[in-house]
Structure 1
Amino acid sequence: MDLAAFTAALPKCELHLHLEGTLEPELKLELARRNGVDIGQRTVEEVRATYAFDSLASFLAVYYPAMDVLVTRRDFHDLAMAYFRKAASQNVLHAEVFFDPQVHVARGVPFADVVGGYHDAVLQAQRELGLSAALILCIVRDMPVESAEAVIEAVMGFREEVVGIGLDSDERGNPPARFAHLFARARAAGFKLTAHCDVDQEDSTEHLRQVLEDIRVDRIDHGTNVVDDPRLLQLLRERGTGLTCCPISNSFVTDDSKAPVIAQLLRSGVRVTVNSDDPAYFGGYVTENLIALTRQAGLGPDELIQLQRNAIEISWADEEVRERFLGELDAYEALAAPDL
């Protein structure tokens, strides 16, 4: 078995995946036709061509309008199930997935239909695929604070369906501190907390300081700029706070996958993980991200195993799921690693 095959068959845990970022061209066309939404494209190739971008701004200009095809509870279910089937095909055992309700509510979609559709898929994935999954509501940081306050108010009625609160979208001029009051309310209500601290953005280290010291998140999405501040890196280590890294999307947004930095953090004992981000747009799900990192940073099988241990350790899965995952990981390591 070569290392790519080892990676493909490796039991995996996904912690940084935007459901709206899994809208593949084929499904976008299907949903547009179903709902009578004119998207200006008639073929899969035409839709795929619109997914090209060369900066974060151009990515967001494509990403959010694409969501217009998501109209009904069934649409949200179908989007999530398409992802869960793909994840299961890549041996993902547990997935904690983001969604952006502000964008949908602003278009007139009821909040309950967004959460309900996604949660329907979570339950179906558990029944039919044996895949454990959980939902994380993300605050869209470049939308008005009032809209964020509205969805945080709404999610209080869906505590069983949503496990955590995150923060995503354009970081420029939108520091985490802007939403500290919402994170505090979510924490008090029992939600777990995470936040995007994107790669090489303006005020990156200050934003990392805010999420670590002021908001005290449970984990950080991206976050590799922590290496620029030794004090924050030490704090991250002391707390065991994990980073959900996405090499392929890094290379699109910054022209640098940050593979050497991710490997450096992994080898120094930081709980880094490797994930998909928005795979329909960036062209790689979790297996492809792991293979890309392996090739660029020279990882070995023991390090690939450690990435998955890190993921389950910083996940918000219940104890039964953690034990099952670790058991499968141990069994796979014993069976496959000696052949490399």
Structure 2
Amino acid sequence: MYTTSIEKFIEDIPKAELHLHIEGTFEPELMFKIAQRNHKEIPYNSIEEVKNAYRFNNLQEFLDIYYAGAGVLITEQDFYDLTWAYLTKVHKQNVTHVEIFFDPQTHTERGISFDIVINGIRNALEDGISKLGISYKLIMSFLRHLDESSAFKTLEHAIPYKKWITAVGLDSSELGNPPSKFERVFTKARAEGYQTVAHAGEEGPATYIWEALDLLKVTRIDHGNSCLDDEQLVQKLVASQIPLTLCPLSNLELKVITDLKDHPIKKMMDKNLLVTINSDDPAYFGGYINKNYLETAKALNLSRKQITTLVKNSFKASWLSEEEKERIIKEIDFYAYQNQISKN
């Protein structure tokens, strides 16, 4: 049975988070505050009603409320407050680097300018560097349930902010919206100098992961659970060490798995896949990054050595410089040594 010492081990070890949707950090309390500030009505009468609505049977049910909540975000200050709230939470959980997604189409489709969205988010992230010591990279995601022309338009909006945006990604409803739908958009994005990532293999099949690799030329797979259904794909991922950004509590809440004991992350580690733990949309799925580590560790009986490997993977899989990675991994090794990793 896990003790508080294991909890503290997870709490205190430096971590990076690579799969986090900033709109998915919208806590009910902040949602109500911003809705009132902007005189926007939401279909809930209390914070408790919002929390009760955060129960889902699948990805689409979650997305419905996710987009409804995002509808109260209007001003640059709103996007700043949303991002700053996330940063202050994870700062207390010893997260030192974040690579976060934002979904501009969620906002531009309802008349909010791209400038307002990115300025608010980036200003908070810059303050996160100076005030909290949290470094960052920004990932702009295309919504896969929308059409290719909308994605191209969003990419055009992003090009003037190329220095601010490290990568483009692909999220939203996976089933019926394969990566191949956006091959031309991703080709254009790569030509503009962006890194590429894509959600694949969460609810979708292993073939979606192949498409993301072969057609979108991604350097990271977000989720990737279904890769275990295809041994040839596993071998490719192991050989290339293309990272998977797994989200255990998200998988549980969205019924990708029915029990954390069934989560594939330990099997993936045994196969030498480069896997990481992340929180995805923590306000909706009941847990930020430390809870994802702790609940997964308890369910799968992970050792401190395995936890340390996952933490180191989060930095290895990041877009930090090699020098920065080497420095932080040395810090993690020293932390683990101090906490007698060899005895666990």
TM-score (norm 2): 0.94
Conserved 8 A contact 1:138-1:165: yes
**What corresponds to 1:34 in structure 2?**
37
Q: Look up the match of 1:157.
A: 160
Q: Cα RMSD between the aligned structures?
A: 1.5
Q: Which residue of 1 aligns with 2:209?
A: 208
CA distance, structure 1, for counterparts of residue 277 and residue 47 of structure 2? 29
2:128 corresponding residue in structure 1:
125
Task: State the SS of the aligned residue for 1:161.
Answer: coil
Equivalent residue for 2:240?
Answer: 239
Deviation at 1:119, TM superposition (A): 0.5
* 1:282 to 2:285 alignment: yes
Aligned match for 1:108, one of 102, 106, 111 = 111
- Deviation digits for residues 155-183 of structure 1, max 9, x if unmatched? 11111111111100101211001101111
Amino acid aligned to 1:211: A
Query: 8 Å contact 1:93–1:132 — kept in the other structure?
Result: yes
Tell me what 1:136 maps to: 139
**Which residue of structure 1 aligns with residue 14 of structure 2?**
11
| TM-aligned CA distance change 1:207 to 1:187, over 3 Å | same
Aligned residue number for residue 228 of structure 1: 229
Partner residue, 1:56 = 59
Q: In the aligned structure 1, how far is the partner of 2:116 from the partner of 2:31?
A: 18
Matched, 1:85 2:88: yes
Tell me what 1:166 maps to.
169
- 1:319 shift after superposition: 3.7
Q: CA deviation at 1:213?
A: 1.9
CA 1:218/1:259 → structure 2, altered by over 3 Å: closer, same or farther?
farther
CA distance in 1, matches of 2:210, 2:319: 23
Change (3 A) 1:269 1:104: same
Q: How many Å apart are 1:282 and its aligned residue?
A: 0.4
Tell me, what secondary structure is at the counterpart of 1:17? strand
Answer yes or no: is the 8 Å Cα contact 1:132–1:321 preserved in 2. no
CA distance in 1, matches of 2:127, 2:72: 22
CA contact (8 A) 2:201 2:209 kept: no
Change (3 A) 1:321 1:36: farther
Query: How far apart in 1 are the matches of 2:168 and 2:155?
Result: 9
What corresponds to 2:302 in structure 1? 299
In 1: Cα distance, 2:19 partner to 2:261 partner? 16
Mapped to 2, the partners of 1:32 and 1:320 lie a distance apart of 43
Query: Structure 1 stretch 65-74 or stretch 40-49: which is displaced more?
Result: 40-49
CA–CA distance in 1 between the matches of 2:115 and 2:153?
A: 13
Gaps of 5+ in 2: none
Query: Which one-letter code corresponds to 2:238 in the other structure?
Result: R
Contiguous gaps of at least 5 residues in structure 1: none
- Could you tell me how far apart the structure 1 residues matched to 2:65 and 2:87 are? 23
CA positional deviation for 1:258: 7.1
For the 8 Å contact 2:175–2:203, the answer to whether it is kept is no
Provide the residue aligned with 1:176 in structure 2.
Answer: 179
1:304, 1:129 → 2: CA distance?
24
Deviations 1:87-137 (A, max 9, x none): 111100100000100010011111011111111011000000001111100
- Structure 2: distance between partners of 1:141 and 1:120: 27
Q: Which residue of 2 aligns with 1:251?
A: 252
Q: Which moved more, 1:53-62 or 1:297-306?
A: 53-62
| Cα distance in structure 1, aligned partners of 2:113 and 2:203 | 35
Q: Given that residues 259 and 293 in structure 1 are in contact (C-alpha distance below 8 angstroms), is that contact kept between their aligned partners in structure 2? A: no
